[in-house]
Structure 1
Amino acid sequence: MTHDFLESLKNELGPDVFFGDDIPARYHNDWSGMTPVRPLALVRARTTEHVSKTLRLCHQHKVPVTPQGGLTGLAGGARPIEGGVALSLDRMNAIEEIDTVMATMTVQAGVPLGVAQRTAEDAGLFLGLDLGARDSCLIGGNLSTNAGGNRVIRFGMAREHVLGMEVVLPDGTIITSLNKMLKNNAGYDLKQLFIGSEGTLGVITRAVLRLQAKPADLATAFCGCPDFPSMLELLKSARQHLGAALTSFEVMWPSFYDFMTGRLPSLRRAFSEQHGIYVLIENGGRNAEDNRMLLETVLGEALEKGWVSDAILPASNREARDLWAVRESVSEYGKLMGPTTAFDVGVPTSAAGRLVEAVEAAVSERWPDAIGLSYGHIGDSNLHFVCNIPSAGTNQPYKAITELVFDLVAKEGGTISAEHGIGLVKKPYLKLSRTPEELALMGKIKHALDPHNVLNTGKVLPGSEY
């Protein structure tokens, strides 16, 4: 059976399918840090038809298949399945159209986010989706995980940037619905089934992205606040004064800020004195002078009322990039700490300070040498926590750390995943954030679209193992 399947795959896809030692190691895993798996075969599709042929064969032979994008996911969603096929869309990287009248961009799933951003800007428009991994993550992966990122507070999650989509179902059926219209109530909005489903219901091959008017300027301010309650007052003031111009409100606790600026020579501390919490504010509007003036108004009030102890308004884009560099230095974790247990949780904004305090204290009490770093998109209730136990070396107590953190998140009424998906890593804990009835409905949808359970088998849903 396996021989017949591989022969059929080779006959259908020729030079775009790889076997054994010819499969590059990068396709054995994503950024989750899980044990790599060499797939039975790798297909690097060039067209939607290639994707369709691959899924049709896998469906017929009941062989599991794992869709892959930029492999930047942290939850194991793109890690191959033992004895299965890895289906990479990284060769489907064409930007097919920019429609400046409709303010849309039609792209293939393998387009890097950064390329899409720059293409939109060259056309005088703006793609509001933004992640630190912008030059390595791919649009298909962004949509399949409903990625969030730095500008959710203004532009929303990935699903807010999609008007139309092309998807290949598990049996190879191609569903093309490349709608460009903001208003289209003709039946079910089918694209919402696939956005955020992490490749378990279908493989996204093309999408129509909604673009925005290009801001004339993005102004940044960096603030040191005395404590978490003061930061909340600053957030409320920024929302009131900046309104829709507020594009980012990023928060870094001292655990993160002090560690990263102290370990990376390329980063410099913005303030000579330490503060209780650090905030990056970004606003974007049609007038550079107005943007800066609005930020000055926010900072002036905050300084007067004691919500901010010190603040910087960079004089150039280069200075602004230097301030953002600290927040975006997370890709250096591997060099600085080795293996980590990373969390991406959602919690009511007012409870985030209490949660950070509880998590950092509990981890330090259990593992006295623990390194725990806290930061996040607090403007949209998204908190990140990264942990390493130096004394454990490569045998990090992932399960114990995860259970400790998720228990505290659940007590605050939070969610175990705000923007990175469930994949394999968080699947055992999904019941902490979803009711039995919700999980049952998800299972029914999965079975309806993928009755043989071949597409990203074993991911997301408990009980979905192959």
Structure 2
Amino acid sequence: MSHEPDRSAVLDELRAVFGADEVLAGDASPRHLKDWSTASGGTPLAILRPRSTDGLARMLAICNAHGQAVVPQGGLTGLVGGAVPGEGQVVVSLERMNAIEEIDLGSGTVTVQAGAPLQAVQEACHEAGALLAIDLGARGSCQIGGNVSTNAGGNRVIRYGNTRDSVLGLEAVLADGTVLPMMNRMVKNNAGVDLKHLFIGSEGVLGIVTRIVLKLHPLPRGTSTALVALADFDAALSFLRHAQQSLSGQVSAFEIMWREYLDVAVATNRLRRPFAADYPVYVLTDMHCGQPETDARRFETMLEQAIEAGWVLDAAVAQSMADAEALWAIRDGIAEVLREQAPTLNFDVSVPVGRIGECVARMRANLERGWPQLQALFFGHVGDGNVHVVVCKVPQDADSLHAIEEAVYGVMRDYGGSVSAEHGIGVLKRDWLAYSRTPAEIALMRTLKAALDPRGILNPGKML
């Protein structure tokens, strides 16, 4: 922004147009001050709660005219500070724009407003007889708009792709209030540049997503689930290839957990240990079934072959939905682990799938050599190359934090990986973006930002 806005004038105009119900004072709701990350912000000038795209467009037009910074917020489950407001900024909460507008089974789509919670949309689609493939541990709190704006990954990427792969169309509002109604409902549409991709994964710095058309899939008639124990990552990789081939690409989750993560997750969440013995590596895998009885036998045969081949050392196969939920509770227990082990330093990186094992070994060695007193937990989504690292109870001085980050990100860079596999860049990873993107790429991102938001009001200081 070229100058500081007259904040009292901004607030007066917003209140005059929308009233106190849609324009709250900055200290009216403390929950809007933080997300799940360690990023710290400031007190916002106001919290805007639009009820419609038109209302949001008018709000942004007012803010843009004054050069007033705006921070869009969804469910506030982010881990990189992407939705944390700075001092005197205006928060736009999409929580009231939460309608599930239409489920069209004929076209295989669901149309939702950005503030709809992911779990609510999943359940509505399930009740209608369809599967929304986007799924992540924060499903009860996160919002579809946030999932789109961060291109969230989650548990089903190996079969269904990232959030981007589920988005057919969307509506977005630019900084000046211009509405782009790109609500495409077709799988095939090559009429010019597909502009929706500018807004998927751009973390609200180019525009605010307000409505989305999502692709649906046939509802599985059943699911086969197992937690298996393995000797090392190479065995997990062999097991993945075997499972994909044996099940004709029907593997719908393949979650890896190194021993330390499983131990901490089980203890923190007071869960039942799945095996009597300890193993170096665990994989939670499942298959969405079309013919439950036949496919369940195929799944068990696949496991038996993996045991015979020596890749799998032990296996716990879910015999009921409750069993499956108990196994998934281990993997989904990360939120409680983060609270129990705070303060933590969280990494969400990706490297080529075949290099995950050696990459993790190098990261572990760096951390043990530099900070032997700290515990590091490793887990992730093997099929898409995504590794999560949680360093527990980290010191909070800037030098230590930077050195620990270098110990992880430096290894990732050596393998040609990404500093962010699925959580975005936000503010916490902004200084590390150059480890994954070239100067030319970053310059082009800034060119797009300047073209779509010339006054720089949308989520300033985030990503770029």
Matched residues in 1 for 2:213 and 2:268: separation?
A: 41
Seen in structure 2, the aligned counterparts of structure 1 residues 395 and 434 have a Cα distance that, compared at 3 Å, is: closer
1:453 to 442, 453, 456: 456
Indicate conservation of the 8 Å contact 1:148/1:157, yes or no: yes
Determine whether 1:342 maps to 2:346.
yes
* SS in structure 2 at match of 1:199: coil
Determine whether 1:99 maps to 2:104.
yes
The within-5 A match list for 1:356-375 is: 356-375=360-379
Which residue of 2 is the match for residue 124 of structure 1?
129
- 2:420 partner amino acid: S
Indicate conservation of the 8 Å contact 1:388/1:396, yes or no: no
Matched residues in 2 for 1:429 and 1:393: separation?
A: 18
Q: Deviations over 1:375-414 (max 9, x none)?
A: 0001111000000236x37989322211211011111211
Which residue of 1 is the match for residue 3 of structure 2?
none
Deviation at 1:361, TM superposition (A): 2.1
1:108 to 91, 107, 113: 113
* SS in structure 2 at match of 1:324: helix
Which residue of 2 is the match for residue 423 of structure 1?
426
Percent of pairs identical after alignment? Answer: 45
Matched residues in 1 for 2:445 and 2:399: separation?
A: 32
* SS in structure 2 at match of 1:243: coil
* SS in structure 1 at match of 2:248: helix
Task: Output the TM-score relative to the length of structure 2.
Answer: 0.96
Matched residues in 2 for 1:201 and 1:336: separation?
A: 36
Matched residues in 2 for 1:135 and 1:342: separation?
A: 21
Which residue of 2 is the match for residue 241 of structure 1?
246
Which residue of 2 is the match for residue 355 of structure 1?
359
* SS in structure 2 at match of 1:280: strand
Indicate conservation of the 8 Å contact 2:349/2:418, yes or no: yes
Which residue of 1 is the match for residue 446 of structure 2?
443
- Greater CA deviation, 362-371 or 318-327? 362-371
Matched residues in 2 for 1:272 and 1:175: separation?
A: 56
Matched residues in 1 for 2:125 and 2:268: separation?
A: 36
Deviation at 1:52, TM superposition (A): 0.6
Indicate conservation of the 8 Å contact 2:41/2:87, yes or no: no
Which residue of 1 is the match for residue 91 of structure 2?
86
2:286 to 282, 286, 296: 282
Which residue of 1 is the match for residue 33 of structure 2?
28
Matched residues in 2 for 1:255 and 1:21: separation?
A: 41
* SS in structure 1 at match of 2:239: helix
1:323 to 321, 327, 340: 327
- 1:18 partner amino acid: L
Determine whether 1:407 maps to 2:410.
yes
Matched residues in 2 for 1:335 and 1:447: separation?
A: 38
Kindly report the root-mean-square deviation, in angstroms, between the aligned alpha carbons of the 2 structures: 1.4
Count of residue pairs the alignment pairs up: 458
Deviation at 1:2, TM superposition (A): 2.0
Which residue of 1 is the match for residue 190 of structure 2?
185
1:164 to 156, 163, 169: 169
Deviation at 1:81, TM superposition (A): 2.2
Deviation at 1:238, TM superposition (A): 0.8
* SS in structure 2 at match of 1:117: helix
Matched residues in 2 for 1:33 and 1:179: separation?
A: 37
Matched residues in 1 for 2:397 and 2:434: separation?
A: 29
Structure 2 stretches of 5 or more lacking a match? 1-5
Deviation at 1:264, TM superposition (A): 3.2
* SS in structure 2 at match of 1:309: strand
Which residue of 2 is the match for residue 138 of structure 1?
143
Determine whether 1:252 maps to 2:277.
no
Task: Output the TM-score relative to the length of structure 1.
Answer: 0.96
* SS in structure 1 at match of 2:422: coil
Which aligned runs of 4 or more in structure 1 are off by greater than 4 angstroms?
393-396
- 2:350 partner amino acid: G
Matched residues in 1 for 2:295 and 2:227: separation?
A: 15
Matched residues in 1 for 2:245 and 2:77: separation?
A: 35
- Greater CA deviation, 38-47 or 415-424? 38-47
Matched residues in 2 for 1:458 and 1:102: separation?
A: 40
